[in-house]
Amino acid sequence: APSLLSINAKPYAFAFPLRYTALLVIDMQRDFLLAKGFGEIQGGNLEAVQASIAPTKKLLDACRSVGMTIVHTREGHLPDLSDCPSSKLVRQAAAPNNTQHKLVIGDKGELGRLLVRGEHGHDIVDELKPLPGEVVIDKPGKGSFWNTTILHQLKARAITHLIVSGVTTECCFATSIREANDRGLECCGIEEVTSGYNDANFKKCTLDMIHWSQGLFGFIASLQPLLDVLT
C-alpha cells in the first residue's frame, strides 16, 4: 500500500500516513461483551456489541497485515480498587431505573471480580487477543488517556493518526476520541467496529457529534473503504 492513504469519511476524506497511524481497539473485554459480564449486569444489551467482534477481527487482520501499530485498551481497576473513584463505584452500581445492582465493580461475578485487572472477565475476548508486540493499555477511566501511558507509547512510535474501534460507542469510544483530539491526534472512528448498549439512534447521535462542525473531534468512516485501501 502507498504510504499516504485516504478514505471517504465524514465530514470529508480522512488521509493518513500508514507508518504514523495506529489502530486503537477499545475495551473489547469479556466484561463488556459476554453474558454475565459487567456490561450485562449494568443493564447493557449485548446483541450489538457481540456483532462487532467479527468485523473488528477483519479490521485487526488487515491492520496487522500492513504492519500498522496496534493498541488495545482494557478498562479496569487494581484488586484493592484504590484507583476506582467512589463516584464510579457508586454510580456504576445504579441500573437505568435507579435500583441498585446486587453486583458492583470489584464484586465476584461469574467471569471473576468485575472490572478487576487479572480477572478472566477483564481480559480481551479470545477472537481479538493481542499478539506479542502489540500495545495493551490498562485504564481506570472511560478515556484511554487519563492515568495511562498511552500518549508516551504513541509518541515513542511517532503516531499522529488513530483509527478507532471498540466498545461502547457512547462511553469509552467517544471519550477516547475526545481525549485524543485534544492532544492533537487525528482520529477516525469506524462505524461497523464500534457499538454500544443503546439503540441505533443513540449510536448515530454519538458518531454525528464526533464529525459535526467540520470534524469537531474527528472523522467517521465505514469499514469497507478502509479494508479496501489496506488490502
Site of interaction with ligand TIU (CB under 6 A): 27, 32, 42, 75, 142, 167-168, 171-172, 197
Least Å distance, CB 144 to ligand TIU, is 10
The yes-or-no answer on residue 204 being catalytic is no
If the CB atoms of residues 27 and 138 are measured against ligand TIU, the closer one turns out to be 27
H and E: helices and strands count for the chain: 9, 10
Least Å distance, CB 125 to ligand TIU, is 13
C-alpha cell at 145: 488517556
Residues in contact with 174: Cβ distance below 8 Å, sequence separation at least 6, in sequence order: 206, 209, 210
Closest CA to 161 of 62, 22, 63, 64: 22
- DSSP, residue by residue, 133-189: TSEEEEESSSSSSTTSSHHHHHHHTT--EEEEEEE-IIIIIHHHHHHHHHTT-EEEE
The angle formed by the CA atoms of residues 45, 173 and 165, to the nearest 5 degrees, is: 90
Phi then psi dihedrals of residue 213, to 5 deg: 55, 60
Residue 13 CA, distance from chain mean position: 22
If the CB atoms of residues 14 and 218 are measured against ligand TIU, the closer one turns out to be 218
Least Å distance, CB 179 to ligand TIU, is 13
Least Å distance, CB 214 to ligand TIU, is 26
C-alpha cell at 141: 477511566
Catalytic residue among 172, 187, 188, 203: 172
Closest CA to 18 of 218, 157, 207: 157
The yes-or-no answer on residue 187 being catalytic is no
If the CB atoms of residues 5 and 44 are measured against ligand TIU, the closer one turns out to be 44
Catalytic residue among 139, 171, 187, 203: 139
If the CB atoms of residues 18 and 105 are measured against ligand TIU, the closer one turns out to be 105
If the CB atoms of residues 137 and 171 are measured against ligand TIU, the closer one turns out to be 171
Catalytic residue among 10, 27, 31, 203: 27
Least Å distance, CB 9 to ligand TIU, is 23
C-alpha cell at 41: 449486569
By annotation, the residues acting in catalysis are: 27, 139, 172
